[in-house]
Amino acid sequence: METMNVDELEAQALKLDHKSRARLAERLLVSLDELSEQESEQLWAAEAQRRDAQMDADPGSSRPADDVFREAWSRIK
């Protein structure tokens, strides 16, 4: 079986229908609750650094928070 990297896995997950993505998101979030506080802090710090590097590499890729929240709320209504 071929192994996917995180970017490939994310791309595949985003192709799922809304209900499947929500189910996957829930399961992933629950799995984070099983981490120690130190592990969780390390993961969030790494994610913050990844996002910061992404913003530095492509500043135009960001979206205003109001737009993101408006879109999110419209999808769950």
Task: Say which residues have a Cβ less than 8 Å from residue 18's Cβ, sequence separation at least 6.
Answer: 75
- pLDDT score of 1: 62
Whole-angstrom CA distances from 71 to 26, 59, 63, 74, 77 are 19, 21, 11, 5, 10
pTM of the model: 0.45
Cβ–Cβ < 8 Å for 4, 12:
yes
Given a cut of 70, whether residue 26 has pLDDT beyond it is yes
Residue ranges making up the domain that contains 23: 6-76
Q: In the predicted model, what is the mean pLDDT of the chain?
A: 89
1 domain-assigned: no
> Exposed, middle or buried: residue 63 (CB in 10 Å: 0-12, 13-18, 19+)?
exposed
Confirm whether 10 is domain-assigned: yes
Q: What is the pLDDT of residue 48?
A: 95
Question: How many domains does one find in the chain?
Answer: 1
**What is the pLDDT averaged over residues 56-77?**
89
